Structure 1
């Protein structure tokens, strides 16, 4: 869900991706900051804008339901698995240099997305786009962190959080308008092609970003990168593709191979640490019960993010026949609820502690249940605008949970490991979002006719929405249980 990704940016303002401290480089480069903000905007914008174009993509590319899942999840997963590596590469080769490389790759990949002749081609281009974003995005945070001091840093990160929030909303409203307006006859392709002039501008203006490197360059663990990337990439593939093929044997083999690769990655990281080399992920972090529980919490709650927007976009456009702009506009008030709750959350947590987050999780679960009940009761006679009050409450519930949750989880580790922990949690966010899309796709697709591309009545999309959102309801209930367990761990002082 777009508003959850807005929190992703504001969280990292306080807990950036791993980087080694370096010296400040003179006066704050405010012109360079505008370039960094522009880059942050387009990478977050592209996390969600594709959702408003789903029906157009299905029609224009004759895309199957599984292919739609890959188009959405491919970017998120590729983005997530290379975030830590992207930060390390910036430390080694220079953050401005990696910014330019990442932006150039993102621009080229966006052009390929916009010119895609088939769904398979678009999936591949989206993966490349996500990989490029993973090189680009960490440099935004790192460059702000090393070039701005104290009050200037707070102002810069505040502007970044606002920019990412606007990107989340623009992905729904502006993206929907672009698809509906059919600019120059480009239809859905315009949401990708718009990145080309923006990317070129950012590359040219990158000279205003001061170059910086880590004084001590960390080793690059390419074996670890390969193992974790392959392992995580294999997880959603059988979940997205398997149901449409009747769960063939290869889908179970792929799941088994994914788990084996991740187990091998764990052993390889432990050996690397034991020999005195810097691991990609310090497995001692995950051996701490409280941090492991917190990471599971983040995985589960973020699995309800993009999956929620996917279900909503399919219902509004595929089921009710709304155009992309109207569908995005109806969903946008959810962002208002999220932002208002996010502003209140720090004060509530300061006063009530983890109980405030538990209350937010209860509100989140209840609001999802209310939304499901409202849609199911109305059925094919559903009037979309009547969902707005429930959507605002859903956004508020998310803001009360997601805004303070990540700081809570990161506070569970020693300050010396905060950078490593933030990288792990950032990756878990994206992996959770991709897995949520895969799982919800299974339930939603099961409610639609087997023959893809056939006419589907609004009532069947209602059933699909309810089926998919039941997963989100179950996940929200699981979040409540995990928060209660974490509160118990904190009271007992266990987990070290």
Structure 2
């Protein structure tokens, strides 16, 4: 649900703006407010699950998500929507890291790889299902109020999920029992949240067309340094840290996995945004038509994610290497073929997207498995939250980078050439992810 909401709202933005008669700047906060709150709370949410029980935090996060979804769907004005979206993002940040923490706690060896394979499957499906569901509901219910259904649909789904949590998620949380001091590092959470905000806010502002607030980016190294120093001091004084930063030096596989994951999401996430804009504004597709043309990526990813999860326990990092190689090949083909005439895109771009998806499905779940392989289960929630925070930062950076390239080239050339340029930029970043994976494999991480 939390991942679906990241993508489903993109197709609803024009409808929300028309239905509420508000400005583009305000509507940008409907999208970015969720992403900001989500990214700022992931590590703290993971740590709360480690300390107080993942089932409990999952339930609280899901309740918050249901209520805030209801508030968005019934909101009378744009200001109420923005506030509710902030709460919704924070609830998602509390809910999401419990998934990786539970997998880390409950599974070992090849079983853990298979579990993360199914996790990757859900990520792939959510990435593409959001625009499809959003476009279909708006087409069915109309633009003026159809967008409300995109949020209200979370209520019945969430209520069913609450029942499933009570029945399927174990209550005897080993992570909480193993943690001697259940206190949460509030100062560390504040410092990390501000550090993430200092990166995400400028990037999201740039994506929305605003000038880049450099002051925020300049604050990041200072806040990051303060966070690392505070966490080291917490460990030295035997206080529970928000995130034990010694993981980055003591477990090279964890640091390299963070790098590979961040680079991958930087390269791949912006592709969907650029193609969605290009297909609708440059090629005349409807929102639903554009979503359908990108669906082959999700089909390919959903096909390979479970398989990659089973193979990673046997052949390790080589799964990620092969998958990234296929992803790079598919993206290169998409860049080559995106300039074809509009009536040929269904038969040329769709196969390239499928090939890229086949590769993409083999990246997420193996990288989760390998990155968290040596992390103690009692730290699984916070460590998984940090990994997903890197992914959120990468997603924001990639969206801003690729849209900047697209708009800059579109101003001096044709839309298809702009789309090709943006895809080539994504190709460079994905190649960097491949190089990082090769380095990790050679070092045996």
TM norm. shorter chain > 0.5: yes
SS in 1 for 2:338: helix
Q: Deviations over 1:269-322 (max 9, x none)?
A: 111111111211111122345532331111110123432221222223333333
Q: Deviations over 1:310-361 (max 9, x none)?
A: 1222223333333333322222221221122334435665666534432322
SS in 2 for 1:376: coil
Aligned counterpart, 1:232: 196
SS in 2 for 1:303: helix
* CA RMSD, Structure 1 to Structure 2 (Å): 3.9
- Output aligned runs, 1:50-69, within 5 Å: 50-57=9-16, 60=19
CA shift in 2, pair 1:352/1:164, >3 Å: closer
| 2:228 maps to which of 266, 279, 283 | 266
Q: CA deviation at 1:222?
A: 0.6
Aligned counterpart, 1:20: none
1:294 aligns with 2:257: yes
Please say if residues 179 and 325 of structure 1, whose CA atoms lie closer than 8 Å, have aligned partners that are also in contact.
no
Segments of structure 2 that go 5 or more residues without pairing to the other structure are none
Q: Deviations over 1:416-450 (max 9, x none)?
A: 86565333223322232233223333223434569
Q: Deviations over 1:146-166 (max 9, x none)?
A: 899999999998877766655
Segments of structure 1 that go 5 or more residues without pairing to the other structure are 1-41, 451-458
Q: Deviations over 1:135-187 (max 9, x none)?
A: 23345566788899999999998877766655445324323211221269522
1:432 aligns with 2:394: yes
Please say if residues 57 and 95 of structure 2, whose CA atoms lie closer than 8 Å, have aligned partners that are also in contact.
yes
Aligned counterpart, 1:477: 431
Taking the aligned partners of 2:372 and 2:153, their CA distance within structure 1 comes to 36
CA shift in 2, pair 1:475/1:263, >3 Å: same
Taking the aligned partners of 1:375 and 1:49, their CA distance within structure 2 comes to 24
| 2:38 maps to which of 79, 82, 102 | 79
Q: TM-score, normalised by structure 2?
A: 0.82
Aligned counterpart, 2:66: 107
Please say if residues 314 and 461 of structure 1, whose CA atoms lie closer than 8 Å, have aligned partners that are also in contact.
no
When the two structures are aligned, how many residues end up with a matched partner? 438
1:129 aligns with 2:94: no
- Output aligned runs, 1:102-251, within 5 Å: 102-115=61-74, 122-139=81-98, 166-182=125-141, 186-200=145-159, 208=167, 211-212=171-172, 214-215=176-177, 216-242=180-206, 244-247=209-212, 251=213
Taking the aligned partners of 1:133 and 1:291, their CA distance within structure 2 comes to 23
CA shift in 2, pair 1:381/1:153, >3 Å: closer
CA shift in 2, pair 1:345/1:106, >3 Å: closer
Aligned counterpart, 2:239: 277
Q: Deviations over 1:12-38 (max 9, x none)?
A: xxxxxxxxxxxxxxxxxxxxxxxxxxx
Q: TM-score, normalised by structure 1?
A: 0.74
1:366 aligns with 2:320: no
Taking the aligned partners of 2:392 and 2:243, their CA distance within structure 1 comes to 16
Please say if residues 80 and 427 of structure 1, whose CA atoms lie closer than 8 Å, have aligned partners that are also in contact.
yes
Taking the aligned partners of 1:353 and 1:141, their CA distance within structure 2 comes to 19
Please say if residues 73 and 437 of structure 1, whose CA atoms lie closer than 8 Å, have aligned partners that are also in contact.
no
| 2:274 maps to which of 311, 324, 345 | 311
Please say if residues 88 and 218 of structure 1, whose CA atoms lie closer than 8 Å, have aligned partners that are also in contact.
no
| 2:416 maps to which of 432, 437, 462 | 462
Comparing 47-56 with 219-228, greater Cα deviation is found at 47-56
Taking the aligned partners of 1:399 and 1:174, their CA distance within structure 2 comes to 21
Aligned counterpart, 1:394: 356
Taking the aligned partners of 1:365 and 1:63, their CA distance within structure 2 comes to 40
